[in-house]
């Protein structure tokens, strides 16, 4: 299956098709997670008709994998109309939800409409920790109840565990909870800056020592020796590689119709309220710029020994100020895995060391 999936992605890449689209149907949410990168006010979401029209366009464009997310998708009263339309267009649908509002009726509908996977964020197995992160009392209990309803209908559920300072010690508990519920488990230590570029929430991210510990847990990473192995030698093939699927075979659409290369890459590339999706996909100057970038075009990263194995996110780099620059969070991950500092870290440390050598004071009159 993995091989066929890779073949499908390769085929989509060759044909220039957007095989995966992430569509946020709303930014409104019943939770107020401390690390969330969204503004939850509604500035004029697309209507049901507009979203259904976008779904028609996405189907015509060749999109196969559709992620419906938010905000909380069930904050939209028309969510099941949207979902029904999506499934009538034969998308392979993943829903991201906090499952708080899933009752028997919602679970039945999700099952009957043939949703592939439901992803639910669970931050801790302890209510006092999870609910403090979501700022919604009773949320862990309700989310677990929602997951049980989905699982009782044999729906596939993935529990996504975002790691941060507040819940660092709870991932084993969440993993055990996932096992008990018959859900898959994923863990992610990435905290994303807010969509407007505001970066204060990054302090919630776990630091180097904790990251190192996580990356050396075989329950999470499998073979630690392989996972933490030094980076492979850099050759011409590595330098010709694409950074990731963003803008190549995947993109993101906001509730307001804005098209970005990825949910984590807020480079405005067009708006489906003003242009047809395919016109944006094929002709957006921004998407074409993203597509033109190869590893060898990255001034710092192309000189880095990690370039062939780094998880560098061009979106996080963009939010640091330069889509061709390094993504510091990924530099830290590469360092935590291998103990080898990235070119970016070395340059920053050198700059810091040199900055104390000369003191320049302004002339006072």
Partner 1 sequence: MSAIYIARSREIAARNLGGEMMIMSPRNSTLCNLNGVGTLIWEAADGQTPLEEIVAGRVCAEFDVEPAQALKDAESFAWELAELGILLLSDQPIASVPPHSYG
Residues within the interface to partner 1 (CB under 8 A): 1, 4-5, 7-8, 11-12, 15, 17, 19, 59-64, 88-93, 114, 116, 156
Q: For partner 1, give the closer residue by CB, 57 or 334.
A: 57
CB-hemisphere CA count at 13 Å for 3?
0
Q: For partner 1, give the closer residue by CB, 64 or 215.
A: 64
The least distance separating partner 1 from the CB of residue 283, rounded to whole angstroms, comes to 19
Distance CA 2, CA 9 (A): 11
Q: For partner 1, give the closer residue by CB, 4 or 358.
A: 4
Q: For partner 1, give the closer residue by CB, 111 or 212.
A: 111
The least distance separating partner 1 from the CB of residue 157, rounded to whole angstroms, comes to 13
Distance CA 170, CA 159 (A): 13
Helix ranges restricted to H, the chain: 2-15, 48-61, 79-88, 104-112, 127-134, 139-152, 171-181, 208-215, 218-221, 224-227, 236-239, 277-283, 285-292, 314-320, 328-338, 343-355
Indicate the angle between helix axes 328-338 and 343-355, nearest 10 degrees: 110
DSSP code string of 175-219: HHHHHHHT-EEEEE---PPPTTS--GGGGGS--HHHHHHHHT-HH
The least distance separating partner 1 from the CB of residue 179, rounded to whole angstroms, comes to 20
The least distance separating partner 1 from the CB of residue 351, rounded to whole angstroms, comes to 47
Q: For partner 1, give the closer residue by CB, 63 or 301.
A: 63
Q: For partner 1, give the closer residue by CB, 21 or 301.
A: 21
The least distance separating partner 1 from the CB of residue 56, rounded to whole angstroms, comes to 8
Contact 313, 264 (CB under 8 A): yes
The least distance separating partner 1 from the CB of residue 80, rounded to whole angstroms, comes to 16
Mapped onto helix, strand or coil, the DSSP state of residue 120 is: strand
The least distance separating partner 1 from the CB of residue 88, rounded to whole angstroms, comes to 7
Q: For partner 1, give the closer residue by CB, 99 or 115.
A: 115
Q: What is the dihedral of CA 272, 273, 274, 278, to 10 degrees?
A: 20
Q: For partner 1, give the closer residue by CB, 118 or 300.
A: 118
Mapped onto helix, strand or coil, the DSSP state of residue 80 is: helix
The least distance separating partner 1 from the CB of residue 248, rounded to whole angstroms, comes to 15
Contact 285, 325 (CB under 8 A): no
How many Cβ atoms from other residues are within 10 Å of residue 232's Cβ? Answer: 12
């Amino acid at each position: 299956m993995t091989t066929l999936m890779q073949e499908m992605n390769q085929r989509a890449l060759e044909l220039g098709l957007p095989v995966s689209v992430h569509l946020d149907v709303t930014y409104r949410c019943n939770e107020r997670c401390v690390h969330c990168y969204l503004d939850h006010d509604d500035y004029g979401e697309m209507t049901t008709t507009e979203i259904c029209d976008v779904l028609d366009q996405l189907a015509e464009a060749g999109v196969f994998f559709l992620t419906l997310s938010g905000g909380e998708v069930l904050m939209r009263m028309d969510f099941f109309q949207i979902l029904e339309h999506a499934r009538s267009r034969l998308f392979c649908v993943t829903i991201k939800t906090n499952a708080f509002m899933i009752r028997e009726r919602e679970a039945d509908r999700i099952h009957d409409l043939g949703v592939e996977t439901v992803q639910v964020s669970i931050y801790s197995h302890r209510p006092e920790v999870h609910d403090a992160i979501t700022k919604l009392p009773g949320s862990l209990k309700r989310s677990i109840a929602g997951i049980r309803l989905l699982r009782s209908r044999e729906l596939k559920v993935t529990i996504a565990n975002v790691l941060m300072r507040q819940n660092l010690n709870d991932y084993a508990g969440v993993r055990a909870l996932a096992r008990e519920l018959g859900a898959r488990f994923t863990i992610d230590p990435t905290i994303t800056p807010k969509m407007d570029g505001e970066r204060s929430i990054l302090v919630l991210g776990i630091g180097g020592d904790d990251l190192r510990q996580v990356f050396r847990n075989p329950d999470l990473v499998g073979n630690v020796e392989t996972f933490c192995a030094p980076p492979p030698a850099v050759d011409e093939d590595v330098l010709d590689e694409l950074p990731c699927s963003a803008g190549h075979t995947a993109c993101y659409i906001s509730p307001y119709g804005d098209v970005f290369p990825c949910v984590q890459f807020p480079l405005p590339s067009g708006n489906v309220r003003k242009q047809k999706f395919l016109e944006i996909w094929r002709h957006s100057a921004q998407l074409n710029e993203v597509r033109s970038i190869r590893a060898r075009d990255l001034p710092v990263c192309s000189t880095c020994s990690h370039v062939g194995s780094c998880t560098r996110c061009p979106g996080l780099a963009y939010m640091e100020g330069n889509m061709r620059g390094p993504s510091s969070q990924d530099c830290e991950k590469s360092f935590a895995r291998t103990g080898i500092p990235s070119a970016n870290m070395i340059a920053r440390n050198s700059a810091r060391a040199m900055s104390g050598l000369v003191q320049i004071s302004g002339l006072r009159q």
